[in-house]
Amino acid sequence: MAKDPNPDPGWYYNTRTNQVEHLERARSVDLLGPYPDEATARRALEIARERTKAADAADRDWDED
């Protein structure tokens, strides 16, 4: 991880390491976020699943119209 002189204050979930990161972060391709706090970042995969499920339902509704 590189030292950033102006770090983003958000919290991120690293999909490669399954760790939450703050201030010093890995490559953006491995991250989900930003999230407002550590607890929300820890739920990143759950949040992604919920959003995918909602988007899939919206697609089905769109296709039925």
pLDDT band at 61 (very low <50, low <70, confident <90, very high): confident
Residue 8, pLDDT above cutoff 80: no
Kindly report, residue by residue over 21-35, the tens digit of the pLDDT: 998 888 899 999 999
Count the neighbouring beta carbons within 10 Å of the beta carbon of residue 33. 20
Count the neighbouring beta carbons within 10 Å of the beta carbon of residue 44. 20
Kindly report, residue by residue over 33-59, the tens digit of the pLDDT: 999 999 999 999 999 999 999 999 999
**What does the pLDDT average to over 2-14?**
80
How confident is the model at residue 1, as a pLDDT?
56
The Cα–Cα gap between 22 and 33 comes to 10
pTM, two decimals, is 0.76
